[in-house]
Amino acid sequence: MNYYNEIKQELINNEVYKKVKNYSKNRSDLKTYCNVGKLLSEAGKNYGEGIIKKYSVRLTSELGKGYTPTRLRYFRRFYKVFLKYPTLSDKLSYSHYCEIIWFDESKMNYYIKITEENNLSVRELRGRIKNNEYERLDGKAKAMLIKKEEPKAEDLIKNPILIKNTYDTNNITEKMLKGLILENIDNFLKQLGVGFTYVGNEYPIKIGDRYYYIDILLYNIKDNKYVVLELKNTELKKEHFGQIKTYMNYIDKNLKTPEQNPTLGIILCKKDNKFVFEYVPNDNVIDREYALV
């Protein structure tokens, strides 16, 4: 079999197809580069690793720039990934896959998921990877991704949450922390995960004759629930759970409709305290640290 001619023809056909069938060119790219990767893999088994460099020189000479040895190895890697996961999403471009095909299964599944759900550009995806989003997931979320189970919104909330600090000091008050979050609310919501939307801050609720104020009230469209977010510039304390639970109960009794799910509570604190969380369990309440960057 003449592997080189097969590879060359695949690439030429793809360029022609993309000009005629522009609406499905991404699918054509994925199919072509997978086929080329398969041929490169088979050629390597027969002629050794050096065949990559030889084919690179010939393709560059005959088809133009863009067929470096590195790019051909990416084609081959893409094919090997596709062999393991034949249902890879065609909502991602080949350029998206180039960012993630060297990751393990769980990590790759996570970035495929968020790229699909948030329609991320390659640049945005690269930024999420640079910020170590996957590494900031907890073990439960990673296990669900491996099993390809559908996580809830709170399962994908990162730890720590990164908050851009525009102040000259790291000793910030809760009011300052809230200001930093609201200055860049879109980025903050993306770090929480999928489906979070902003409702308001200092959200007033009346219990008896007294008014209380929820730091930030959110809503998660995907999971159909309100989200109470309380900010603490201290270590997590047991009394924080009583406060947020009171606010959550108010929302459940006064705002939530029968069709909506129970309210989620998030305590964003300066430092976690696993002992407190272990001995003061609270349903639908999670804690996360924040990190100023």
pLDDT digits (tens, 9 = 90+) for 43-91: 999 999 999 999 999 999 999 888 999 999 999 999 999 988 887 888 8
- Note the pTM of the prediction, 2 decimals: 0.81
pLDDT digits (tens, 9 = 90+) for 3-50: 889 988 989 888 777 665 555 678 889 999 999 999 999 999 999 999
Q: Annotate 176-219 with DSSP letters as a single string.
A: HHHHHHHHTHHHHHHHH-SSEEEEEEEEEEEETTEEEEEEEEEE
Strand partners, 229: 216, 266
Task: Tell me the pLDDT of the chain averaged across its residues.
Answer: 90
Closest by CA to 189, choosing from 165, 162, 215, 213, is 162
Neighbour-count burial of 221, counting CB atoms closer than 10 A to its CB (0-12 exposed, 13-18 middle, 19+ buried):
exposed
Q: Is the domain of 61 the same as that of 8? A: yes
Q: Is the domain of 178 the same as that of 57? A: no
Q: Would you say how long the chain is, in residues? A: 293
The residue among 147, 182, 205 that closes a domain is 147
Domain range for residue 202? 153-292
264 SS3 class: strand
**Amino acid letter, residue 160:** P
Q: Is the domain of 143 the same as that of 19? A: yes
Distance separating the N- and C-terminal Cα atoms of the chain: 56
The residue among 98, 130, 147 that closes a domain is 147
pLDDT digits (tens, 9 = 90+) for 93-120: 999 999 999 999 889 989 998 998 888 9
Q: Is the domain of 218 the same as that of 260? A: yes
Q: Is the domain of 281 the same as that of 241? A: yes
Q: Is the domain of 23 the same as that of 82? A: yes
Q: What does the block give as tokens for 198? A: 């902003």
**DSSP single-letter state for residue 24:** G
pLDDT digits (tens, 9 = 90+) for 224-282: 999 999 999 999 888 899 999 999 999 999 999 999 999 999 999 998 877 666 655 57
The residue among 132, 147, 162 that closes a domain is 147
Lookup result for tokens 């393709």: 59
Q: Is the domain of 80 the same as that of 201? A: no
Edge-first strand order for the sheet with 196-207 is: 161-163, 285-292, 261-271, 225-235, 210-220, 196-207
Q: Is the domain of 158 the same as that of 133? A: no
Q: Is the domain of 170 the same as that of 203? A: yes
Which segment of 142-156, 161-175, 195-209, 218-232 scores lowest on mean pLDDT? 142-156
Per the structure, the count of domains in the chain is 2
